[in-house]
Amino acid sequence: MNKTIATLPDIHSDSASHSKQSLRLWLRLLTCCNFVEKRVRLLLKTQFETTLPRFDVLAALEKEANGLSMSDLSQKLMVSNGNVTGVVSRLEEEGLLTKEPAPEDQRFNFVRLTAEGVKEFRRMAKAHEKWIDDMFGSISDSEIAKLLKMLDGVKESLQTYQKKR
Amino acid sequence: MNKTIATLPDIHSDSASHSKQSLRLWLRLLTCCNFVEKRVRLLLKTQFETTLPRFDVLAALEKEANGLSMSDLSQKLMVSNGNVTGVVSRLEEEGLLTKEPAPEDQRFNFVRLTAEGVKEFRRMAKAHEKWIDDMFGSISDSEIAKLLKMLDGVKESLQTYQKKR
Protein backbone atom coordinates (compact mmCIF):
# COMPACT_ATOMS: atom_id res chain seq x y z
CA MET A 1 0.00 0.00 0.00
CA ASN A 2 1.17 3.53 -0.76
CA LYS A 3 2.40 4.79 2.57
CA THR A 4 1.71 8.45 1.82
CA ILE A 5 -1.95 7.72 1.20
CA ALA A 6 -2.19 5.33 4.12
CA THR A 7 -0.94 7.95 6.56
CA LEU A 8 -3.25 10.70 5.32
CA PRO A 9 -6.23 11.24 7.58
CA ASP A 10 -9.20 9.37 6.14
CA ILE A 11 -11.86 12.00 5.54
CA HIS A 12 -14.47 9.27 5.27
CA SER A 13 -13.63 7.48 8.50
CA ASP A 14 -16.14 9.43 10.63
CA SER A 15 -19.09 8.89 8.35
CA ALA A 16 -18.14 5.26 7.75
CA SER A 17 -17.98 4.70 11.47
CA HIS A 18 -21.31 6.49 11.97
CA SER A 19 -23.06 4.30 9.42
CA LYS A 20 -21.63 1.10 10.96
CA GLN A 21 -22.64 2.31 14.41
CA SER A 22 -26.13 3.25 13.15
CA LEU A 23 -26.48 -0.25 11.74
CA ARG A 24 -25.38 -1.79 15.03
CA LEU A 25 -27.90 0.40 16.84
CA TRP A 26 -30.69 -0.69 14.51
CA LEU A 27 -29.83 -4.38 14.86
CA ARG A 28 -29.66 -4.05 18.65
CA LEU A 29 -33.06 -2.30 18.76
CA LEU A 30 -34.49 -4.96 16.48
CA THR A 31 -33.14 -7.82 18.61
CA CYS A 32 -34.74 -6.35 21.74
CA CYS A 33 -38.06 -5.63 20.02
CA ASN A 34 -38.19 -9.07 18.42
CA PHE A 35 -37.57 -10.79 21.73
CA VAL A 36 -40.32 -8.89 23.56
CA GLU A 37 -42.80 -9.14 20.70
CA LYS A 38 -42.30 -12.89 20.31
CA ARG A 39 -42.76 -13.42 24.04
CA VAL A 40 -45.87 -11.21 24.16
CA ARG A 41 -47.41 -13.16 21.25
CA LEU A 42 -46.77 -16.43 23.09
CA LEU A 43 -48.17 -15.17 26.41
CA LEU A 44 -51.29 -13.69 24.76
CA LYS A 45 -51.86 -17.05 23.13
CA THR A 46 -51.26 -19.25 26.15
CA GLN A 47 -52.84 -17.04 28.81
CA PHE A 48 -55.69 -15.36 26.92
CA GLU A 49 -56.12 -17.48 23.79
CA THR A 50 -55.77 -14.29 21.78
CA THR A 51 -53.40 -12.75 19.26
CA LEU A 52 -51.25 -9.62 19.10
CA PRO A 53 -53.33 -8.01 16.30
CA ARG A 54 -56.48 -8.41 18.43
CA PHE A 55 -54.75 -6.99 21.52
CA ASP A 56 -53.37 -4.18 19.41
CA VAL A 57 -56.82 -3.20 18.05
CA LEU A 58 -58.34 -3.23 21.55
CA ALA A 59 -55.41 -1.15 22.89
CA ALA A 60 -55.81 1.48 20.17
CA LEU A 61 -59.56 1.75 20.79
CA GLU A 62 -59.35 1.81 24.57
CA LYS A 63 -57.61 5.20 24.37
CA GLU A 64 -60.45 6.64 22.25
CA ALA A 65 -63.74 6.92 24.14
CA ASN A 66 -65.34 8.45 21.03
CA GLY A 67 -64.14 5.67 18.77
CA LEU A 68 -62.06 5.78 15.62
CA SER A 69 -62.69 5.57 11.91
CA MET A 70 -61.31 2.41 10.33
CA SER A 71 -58.50 4.34 8.63
CA ASP A 72 -57.49 6.15 11.84
CA LEU A 73 -57.55 2.82 13.64
CA SER A 74 -55.22 1.25 11.05
CA GLN A 75 -52.79 4.13 11.42
CA LYS A 76 -52.71 3.91 15.21
CA LEU A 77 -51.88 0.22 15.41
CA MET A 78 -48.48 -0.37 16.96
CA VAL A 79 -47.79 -3.87 15.75
CA SER A 80 -50.32 -5.30 13.35
CA ASN A 81 -49.77 -5.27 9.66
CA GLY A 82 -52.43 -7.81 8.95
CA ASN A 83 -56.06 -7.72 8.10
CA VAL A 84 -57.54 -5.04 10.39
CA THR A 85 -61.00 -5.41 8.83
CA GLY A 86 -61.04 -9.13 9.61
CA VAL A 87 -59.88 -8.61 13.19
CA VAL A 88 -62.48 -5.86 13.75
CA SER A 89 -65.28 -8.04 12.35
CA ARG A 90 -64.41 -10.90 14.67
CA LEU A 91 -64.19 -8.61 17.71
CA GLU A 92 -67.59 -7.19 16.71
CA GLU A 93 -69.11 -10.67 16.50
CA GLU A 94 -67.78 -11.38 19.98
CA GLY A 95 -69.41 -8.20 21.32
CA LEU A 96 -66.13 -6.49 22.21
CA LEU A 97 -66.68 -3.55 19.86
CA THR A 98 -69.33 -1.86 17.76
CA LYS A 99 -69.01 -0.56 14.22
CA GLU A 100 -71.51 2.15 13.31
CA PRO A 101 -71.75 4.99 10.80
CA ALA A 102 -70.26 8.20 12.23
CA PRO A 103 -73.02 10.67 13.29
CA GLU A 104 -71.34 13.54 11.39
CA ASP A 105 -70.66 11.55 8.23
CA GLN A 106 -72.68 8.41 7.58
CA ARG A 107 -70.25 7.30 4.88
CA PHE A 108 -67.63 6.37 7.47
CA ASN A 109 -67.82 3.61 10.02
CA PHE A 110 -66.77 4.42 13.54
CA VAL A 111 -65.42 1.64 15.68
CA ARG A 112 -65.58 1.77 19.47
CA LEU A 113 -65.19 -0.64 22.36
CA THR A 114 -68.25 -1.94 24.23
CA ALA A 115 -68.15 -2.03 28.05
CA GLU A 116 -67.32 -5.72 27.66
CA GLY A 117 -64.47 -4.81 25.29
CA VAL A 118 -63.03 -2.30 27.77
CA LYS A 119 -63.25 -4.90 30.55
CA GLU A 120 -61.61 -7.59 28.42
CA PHE A 121 -58.82 -5.25 27.30
CA ARG A 122 -58.04 -4.06 30.84
CA ARG A 123 -57.79 -7.63 32.06
CA MET A 124 -55.20 -8.35 29.37
CA ALA A 125 -53.44 -4.98 29.73
CA LYS A 126 -52.81 -5.64 33.41
CA ALA A 127 -51.12 -8.96 32.61
CA HIS A 128 -49.27 -7.38 29.66
CA GLU A 129 -47.81 -4.67 31.91
CA LYS A 130 -46.62 -7.36 34.31
CA TRP A 131 -44.98 -9.38 31.49
CA ILE A 132 -43.11 -6.34 30.20
CA ASP A 133 -42.02 -5.43 33.72
CA ASP A 134 -40.73 -8.98 34.24
CA MET A 135 -38.73 -8.71 31.02
CA PHE A 136 -37.24 -5.32 31.94
CA GLY A 137 -36.94 -6.31 35.60
CA SER A 138 -33.13 -6.12 35.75
CA ILE A 139 -33.04 -2.51 34.52
CA SER A 140 -33.12 0.09 37.29
CA ASP A 141 -35.59 2.98 37.34
CA SER A 142 -32.82 5.46 36.64
CA GLU A 143 -31.49 3.40 33.72
CA ILE A 144 -34.99 3.24 32.24
CA ALA A 145 -35.35 7.01 32.64
CA LYS A 146 -32.00 7.53 30.86
CA LEU A 147 -32.98 5.13 28.07
CA LEU A 148 -36.33 6.86 27.57
CA LYS A 149 -34.53 10.17 27.24
CA MET A 150 -32.04 8.76 24.74
CA LEU A 151 -34.81 7.09 22.75
CA ASP A 152 -36.47 10.51 22.55
CA GLY A 153 -33.34 11.52 20.68
CA VAL A 154 -33.79 8.55 18.34
CA LYS A 155 -37.43 9.48 17.78
CA GLU A 156 -36.41 13.06 17.01
CA SER A 157 -33.82 11.84 14.51
CA LEU A 158 -36.49 9.74 12.81
CA GLN A 159 -38.86 12.72 12.76
CA THR A 160 -36.17 14.95 11.25
CA TYR A 161 -35.56 12.27 8.64
CA GLN A 162 -39.27 12.07 7.85
CA LYS A 163 -39.61 15.84 7.43
CA LYS A 164 -36.84 15.81 4.82
CA ARG A 165 -38.74 13.26 2.71
CA MET B 1 -60.24 8.47 52.17
CA ASN B 2 -58.77 7.27 55.45
CA LYS B 3 -56.01 9.76 56.14
CA THR B 4 -53.89 7.34 58.15
CA ILE B 5 -53.71 4.95 55.23
CA ALA B 6 -53.20 7.74 52.70
CA THR B 7 -50.18 9.10 54.57
CA LEU B 8 -48.51 5.73 55.02
CA PRO B 9 -45.66 5.18 52.59
CA ASP B 10 -46.92 3.14 49.68
CA ILE B 11 -44.83 0.00 49.63
CA HIS B 12 -45.96 -0.71 46.09
CA SER B 13 -45.12 2.70 44.66
CA ASP B 14 -41.62 1.70 43.46
CA SER B 15 -42.71 -1.43 41.68
CA ALA B 16 -45.79 0.30 40.24
CA SER B 17 -43.59 3.05 38.88
CA HIS B 18 -41.13 0.48 37.50
CA SER B 19 -43.85 -1.35 35.61
CA LYS B 20 -45.23 1.89 34.12
CA GLN B 21 -41.72 2.94 33.14
CA SER B 22 -41.04 -0.51 31.67
CA LEU B 23 -44.19 -0.20 29.60
CA ARG B 24 -43.18 3.27 28.40
CA LEU B 25 -39.75 1.90 27.46
CA TRP B 26 -41.31 -0.96 25.51
CA LEU B 27 -43.70 1.36 23.63
CA ARG B 28 -40.84 3.76 22.83
CA LEU B 29 -38.67 0.90 21.52
CA LEU B 30 -41.60 -0.38 19.49
CA THR B 31 -42.33 3.05 17.98
CA CYS B 32 -38.71 3.41 16.84
CA CYS B 33 -38.51 -0.14 15.47
CA ASN B 34 -41.84 0.17 13.66
CA PHE B 35 -40.78 3.42 12.00
CA VAL B 36 -37.48 2.01 10.72
CA GLU B 37 -38.96 -1.33 9.66
CA LYS B 38 -41.81 0.31 7.74
CA ARG B 39 -39.38 2.61 5.97
CA VAL B 40 -36.97 -0.24 5.13
CA ARG B 41 -39.87 -2.29 3.68
CA LEU B 42 -40.85 0.66 1.50
CA LEU B 43 -37.30 1.35 0.31
CA LEU B 44 -36.62 -2.32 -0.46
CA LYS B 45 -39.79 -2.36 -2.53
CA THR B 46 -39.24 0.89 -4.41
CA GLN B 47 -35.48 0.64 -4.91
CA PHE B 48 -34.92 -3.10 -5.29
CA GLU B 49 -38.39 -4.50 -6.00
CA THR B 50 -37.86 -6.89 -3.13
CA THR B 51 -39.31 -7.63 0.31
CA LEU B 52 -38.00 -7.63 3.87
CA PRO B 53 -38.34 -11.43 4.29
CA ARG B 54 -36.21 -11.92 1.15
CA PHE B 55 -33.59 -9.42 2.35
CA ASP B 56 -33.67 -11.04 5.76
CA VAL B 57 -33.00 -14.55 4.36
CA LEU B 58 -30.11 -13.28 2.20
CA ALA B 59 -28.65 -11.38 5.19
CA ALA B 60 -28.76 -14.46 7.42
CA LEU B 61 -27.09 -16.61 4.75
CA GLU B 62 -24.41 -14.09 3.81
CA LYS B 63 -22.85 -14.50 7.26
CA GLU B 64 -22.61 -18.29 6.82
CA ALA B 65 -20.16 -19.33 4.10
CA ASN B 66 -20.92 -22.99 4.88
CA GLY B 67 -24.66 -22.49 4.63
CA LEU B 68 -27.40 -23.20 7.15
CA SER B 69 -29.97 -25.90 7.69
CA MET B 70 -33.53 -24.70 7.12
CA SER B 71 -34.28 -24.78 10.85
CA ASP B 72 -31.13 -22.82 11.76
CA LEU B 73 -32.01 -20.33 9.04
CA SER B 74 -35.52 -19.83 10.46
CA GLN B 75 -34.08 -19.21 13.91
CA LYS B 76 -31.57 -16.65 12.68
CA LEU B 77 -34.05 -14.46 10.82
CA MET B 78 -34.29 -11.00 12.38
CA VAL B 79 -37.62 -9.90 10.99
CA SER B 80 -39.54 -12.47 9.02
CA ASN B 81 -42.30 -14.48 10.55
CA GLY B 82 -43.66 -15.63 7.24
CA ASN B 83 -43.18 -18.56 5.00
CA VAL B 84 -39.41 -19.16 4.99
CA THR B 85 -39.77 -22.25 2.79
CA GLY B 86 -41.59 -20.23 0.13
CA VAL B 87 -39.06 -17.41 0.21
CA VAL B 88 -36.15 -19.87 -0.04
CA SER B 89 -37.76 -21.69 -2.99
CA ARG B 90 -38.23 -18.46 -4.91
CA LEU B 91 -34.66 -17.31 -4.22
CA GLU B 92 -33.47 -20.74 -5.39
CA GLU B 93 -35.44 -20.42 -8.65
CA GLU B 94 -33.82 -17.04 -9.20
CA GLY B 95 -30.36 -18.57 -8.73
CA LEU B 96 -29.55 -16.57 -5.58
CA LEU B 97 -29.15 -19.62 -3.37
CA THR B 98 -28.78 -23.40 -3.54
CA LYS B 99 -30.52 -26.00 -1.41
CA GLU B 100 -28.68 -29.31 -1.16
CA PRO B 101 -28.53 -32.24 1.25
CA ALA B 102 -25.87 -31.67 3.93
CA PRO B 103 -22.72 -33.79 3.23
CA GLU B 104 -22.67 -35.08 6.83
CA ASP B 105 -26.38 -35.88 6.98
CA GLN B 106 -28.32 -36.32 3.76
CA ARG B 107 -31.66 -36.02 5.58
CA PHE B 108 -31.19 -32.29 6.06
CA ASN B 109 -31.12 -29.63 3.38
CA PHE B 110 -28.41 -27.03 3.57
CA VAL B 111 -29.08 -23.63 2.10
CA ARG B 112 -26.27 -21.38 0.93
CA LEU B 113 -25.90 -18.28 -1.23
CA THR B 114 -24.57 -18.51 -4.78
CA ALA B 115 -21.95 -15.98 -5.94
CA GLU B 116 -24.85 -14.16 -7.59
CA GLY B 117 -26.76 -14.20 -4.28
CA VAL B 118 -23.79 -12.72 -2.41
CA LYS B 119 -23.44 -10.01 -5.05
CA GLU B 120 -27.14 -9.19 -4.96
CA PHE B 121 -27.23 -9.07 -1.16
CA ARG B 122 -24.17 -6.81 -0.91
CA ARG B 123 -25.69 -4.37 -3.38
CA MET B 124 -28.80 -4.12 -1.22
CA ALA B 125 -26.86 -4.16 2.08
CA LYS B 126 -24.87 -1.11 1.00
CA ALA B 127 -28.07 0.85 0.32
CA HIS B 128 -29.64 -0.50 3.52
CA GLU B 129 -26.70 0.75 5.61
CA LYS B 130 -27.10 4.18 4.03
CA TRP B 131 -30.87 4.28 4.72
CA ILE B 132 -30.35 3.39 8.39
CA ASP B 133 -27.58 5.97 8.67
CA ASP B 134 -29.87 8.61 7.16
CA MET B 135 -32.54 7.75 9.72
CA PHE B 136 -30.11 7.88 12.65
CA GLY B 137 -28.25 10.82 11.16
CA SER B 138 -29.10 13.31 13.92
CA ILE B 139 -27.66 11.08 16.65
CA SER B 140 -24.01 11.73 17.43
CA ASP B 141 -21.40 8.95 17.53
CA SER B 142 -21.07 9.27 21.28
CA GLU B 143 -24.85 9.11 21.78
CA ILE B 144 -25.01 5.98 19.65
CA ALA B 145 -22.19 4.44 21.67
CA LYS B 146 -24.06 5.25 24.91
CA LEU B 147 -27.30 3.83 23.53
CA LEU B 148 -25.59 0.63 22.41
CA LYS B 149 -24.19 0.19 25.90
CA MET B 150 -27.58 0.79 27.52
CA LEU B 151 -29.28 -1.58 25.08
CA ASP B 152 -26.73 -4.19 26.15
CA GLY B 153 -28.31 -3.78 29.58
CA VAL B 154 -31.75 -4.33 28.07
CA LYS B 155 -30.51 -7.43 26.25
CA GLU B 156 -29.02 -8.76 29.50
CA SER B 157 -32.31 -8.17 31.30
CA LEU B 158 -34.12 -10.12 28.58
CA GLN B 159 -31.56 -12.94 28.82
CA THR B 160 -31.94 -13.07 32.60
CA TYR B 161 -35.72 -13.24 32.12
CA GLN B 162 -35.34 -16.05 29.58
CA LYS B 163 -33.09 -18.12 31.88
CA LYS B 164 -35.74 -17.99 34.62
CA ARG B 165 -38.35 -19.51 32.30
Say yes or no for a CB contact (<8 Å) between B21 and A78.
no
Report the pLDDT value the prediction gives residue B107, as an integer from 0 to 100. Answer: 81
Region A83-92: mean pLDDT is 92
Please state which of the ranges A5-9, A26-30, B86-90, B155-159 shows the lowest mean pLDDT: A5-9
Q: CA–CA distance from A57 to each of A20, A78, A122, B20 (Å)? A: 36, 9, 13, 20
Q: Where are the alpha helices (DSSP H) in A8-114?
A: 13-48, 52-62, 70-76, 84-93
Region B97-106: mean pLDDT is 86
Higher pLDDT, A149 or A14: A149
Radius of gyration, alpha carbons of chain B: 22
Report the pLDDT value the prediction gives residue A1, as an integer from 0 to 100. Answer: 40
pLDDT class of A75 with cuts at 50, 70, 90 = confident
The pLDDT mean for chain B works out to: 88
Report the pLDDT value the prediction gives residue A77, as an integer from 0 to 100. Answer: 87
Residue pLDDT, tens place only, B107-130: 888 999 999 999 999 999 999 999
Report the pLDDT value the prediction gives residue A15, as an integer from 0 to 100. Answer: 58
**Identity (one letter) of the amino acid at A65?**
A
Q: How far apart are CA B136 and CA A161, in angstroms?
A: 8
Report the pLDDT value the prediction gives residue A2, as an integer from 0 to 100. Answer: 42
Region B94-118: mean pLDDT is 90
Say yes or no for a CB contact (<8 Å) between A141 and B28.
no
- How distant is the Cα of A101 from the closest Cα of chain B, in angstroms? 30
* pLDDT higher than 90, residue A16: no
* Chain A residue whose CA is closest to B79: A34
Name the pTM for this structure: 0.85
Q: How far is CA A117 from the centre of its chain?
A: 21
Residues in chain B within 8 Å Cβ distance of A157? 135-139
Buried b (16+ CB within 10 A) or exposed e, A73-96: bbeebbbbeeebeebbeebeeeeb
* pLDDT higher than 50, residue B141: yes
Residues in chain A within 8 Å Cβ distance of B156? 138
Residues 6+ apart with CB under 8 A from A59: A78, A121, A125
% of chain A with per-residue pLDDT over 90: 72
pLDDT class of B152 with cuts at 50, 70, 90 = very high
Question: Is residue B134 a contact partner of residue A155, using CB atoms and an 8 Å limit?
Answer: no
Question: Taking the alpha carbons of B5, B7, B11, B15 in that order, is the dihedral positive or negative?
Answer: positive
The pLDDT mean for chain A works out to: 88
Q: Which helix (H) or strand (E) holds B125?
A: helix B115-135
Report the pLDDT value the prediction gives residue A14, as an integer from 0 to 100. Answer: 54
Query: How many inter-chain contacts (A to B, CB under 8 Å) are there?
Result: 178
Question: Is residue A155 a contact partner of residue B31, using CB atoms and an 8 Å limit?
Answer: yes
Q: Which helix (H) or strand (E) holds B87?
A: helix B84-93
Residues in chain A within 8 Å Cβ distance of B162? 35
Residues 6+ apart with CB under 8 A from B135: A22, A26, A157, A158, A161, B35, B36, B39
pLDDT class of B3 with cuts at 50, 70, 90 = very low
Report the pLDDT value the prediction gives residue B15, as an integer from 0 to 100. Answer: 58
Q: CA–CA distance from B131 to each of A20, A31, B121, B135 (Å)? A: 12, 19, 15, 6
Three-point CA angle B76, B82, B84, nearest 5° = 55
Nearest to A111 by CA among A135, A133, A140, A87: A87
Q: CA–CA distance from A115 to each of A61, A62, A72, A127 (Å)? A: 12, 10, 21, 19
Three-point CA angle B140, B142, B145, nearest 5° = 110
Q: Which helix (H) or strand (E) holds A108?
A: strand A105-113
DSSP 3-state of A94: coil
